[in-house]
Amino acid sequence: MQNITINDYDYSLPDDRIAQYPVKERDHSRLLLYNGHDISSDIFRNIELHLPEGSLLVFNNTRVIRARLLFYKVSGAVVEILCLEPSIPRTYEESFGSKSPVEWKCIIGNLKKWKTGTISMNLRYNESFYELAAEKVYPAGEAWIVRFSWNNSGINFGEVLATAGHIPLPPYITREDEKDDSLRYQTVYSLVNGSVAAPTAGLHFTDDLLNRLSEKGIRKADITLHVGAGTFQPVRTSRIKDHIMHCEQFFVTNDTISELIKNHDSIIPVGTTSVRTIESLYWLGIKVINKSINSNDQLTVDQWEPYSNDSQITAEESLSALLSFMVKNRLQVINASTGIIIVPGYKFRLTKGIITNFHQPRSTLLLLISAWTGPFWKEIYKYALEKGFRFLSYGDSSLLFR
């Protein structure tokens, strides 16, 4: 499967099919339905009619931060800094709460216009102006470590971003962020700050719809995976084996793992980030069983790790081992990272259905969908294009079974 070629996962996506704005009402987006044989459509607000009784929906409750900072130089040039993840302090909570300088891993746009020195901008907070300064520290692959400082010890970095930053809309939305994006490029259940991209499959849910699902007996569990800019990274290599998958941090409580164990036959992740997280949990449990995890700092799943182990251990056994590990180490929350890549040939361990948007051609997300549906993904996407579905982050949704 590492010899899969990306050219086989391409399709023509006209620019006018990429949604630049969301529909007026979240749950009025369209819903494509695939039951393993046939394709049909409905409105998203009716999704409760198509979910099996007793389903457990797994939601990613990450919250998008205003991670895009625009610095204007005297020359008029604009340097754009996209904050990806904290470096010093290491945790999101500590960094957002810091009232002293912080360092973040960042992508820098128009880097050639920022050769040396510090750049700064005015920061308006509580009707007063302060200065936010940025300084390049050292390169980190295709990114940079950037040091941020500000001359107001009364505010923390989370407040700095909330005041000075912009919503980091994906690059295929070819407009500047607007006031409404602060609300609409955020799920109604978002809770934990840290993402630079929304888990967009969840954008269609409303509080009213969530309440109706609960009344019907559809259960809900939360995970947290902070979505990085790597989610938009195209596959630039012809063969998948040469593509380096981005790594993302995730957090899962022991209560959620208990729910996954009890409902292991009825789990429907909302979005590809939730799929990657719950499938990664299975492989962490396998590592516990194989005694290849001895401490909390070894909680990671590598890109090709699942493909070198044709485990016959059930999802229930694996998650139970992981839960026992948490109890033994007095962990209420497991903090791990995953670089897992899910491609055709992957054996899904926990996923029983997927709620997801439509993804870019030649992307790892499309590979994941193909891993789930098989070659029928082409018919699904052909149907969506012919029937006028809207694509990508602000686009329509699908509910896919096997």
Residues 264-287: tens digit of each pLDDT: 999 999 999 999 999 999 999 999
In-domain check, residue 173: no
pLDDT of residue 340: 96
User: Which CATH number characterizes residue 357's domain?
Assistant: 3.40.1780.10
pLDDT tens by residue, 142-178: 899 999 999 998 999 999 999 999 999 999 999 999 9
pLDDT of residue 296: 67
The bridge status of strand 128-140 relative to strand 143-150 is: antiparallel
- Domain boundary residue among 140, 166, 192? 166
Q: Are residues 250 and 118 in the same domain?
A: no
Residues 14 and 93 in one domain: no
User: Is residue 171 situated within a structural domain?
Assistant: no
Query: Is residue 174 included in any domain, yes or no?
Result: no
Contacts (Cβ under 8 Å, ≥6 apart) of 65: 83, 158, 161, 165, 193, 194, 195, 196
pLDDT at 323 over 70: yes
pLDDT at 2: 67
pLDDT at 142: 87
351 pLDDT more than 70: yes
| pLDDT at residue 330 in the model | 94
Shared-domain flag, residues 82 and 115: yes
43 and 73 both lie in a single domain: no
238 and 338 assigned to the same domain: yes
What residue numbers bound the domain in which 206 lies? 6-64+184-400
Counted domains in the chain: 2
Q: Is residue 101 part of a domain?
A: yes
Q: Quick one: 250 and 336 in the same domain?
A: yes
For the ranges 9-23, 210-224, 287-301, the lowest mean pLDDT is seen at 287-301
In a domain, 20, yes or no: yes
pLDDT of residue 293: 84
The pLDDT of residue 300 is above 70: yes
Same domain, 225 and 280: yes
How does residue 231 score in pLDDT terms, banded at 50, 70 and 90?
confident
pLDDT of residue 283: 97
Q: Which residue has the tokens 């590592």?
A: 287
User: Structure tokens of 362?
Assistant: 């030649």
pLDDT for res 3: 80
**The pLDDT value given to residue 15:** 97
Task: Convert the pLDDT of each residue in 361-384 to its tens digit.
Answer: 999 999 999 999 999 999 999 999
237 with 374, same domain: the answer is: yes
Please tell me whether residues 122 and 254 are part of one structural domain.
no
Per-residue pLDDT at 12 exceeds 70:
yes
pTM: 0.95
Looking at the domain assignment, is residue 178 inside a domain?
Answer: no
Last residue of a domain, one of 138, 166, 194: 166
Tokens encoding 311: 């485990």
Asked which of 2-11, 92-101, 210-219, 378-387 is least confident by mean pLDDT, the reply is 2-11
pLDDT-derived band of residue 116, with 50, 70 and 90 as boundaries? confident
Question: Would residue 14 count as lying in a domain?
Answer: yes
CB 245, CB 239: distance < 8 Å: no
Q: Are 211 and 290 found together in one domain?
A: yes
Residues 291 and 379 in one domain: yes
CB 106 within 8 A of CB 161: no
Same domain assignment for residues 275 and 382: yes
For position 253, what pLDDT does the model report?
98
Q: Both tokens of residue 220?
A: 């809900």
Digit-coded pLDDT (tens) for 182-230:
999 999 999 999 999 999 999 999 999 999 999 999 999 999 999 988 7
Q: What is the mean pLDDT of residues 72-96?
A: 94
What pLDDT digit, counting tens, does each position of 21-52 carry? 999 999 999 999 999 999 999 999 999 999 99
Examine residue 172 and state whether it is found in any structural domain, yes or no.
Answer: no
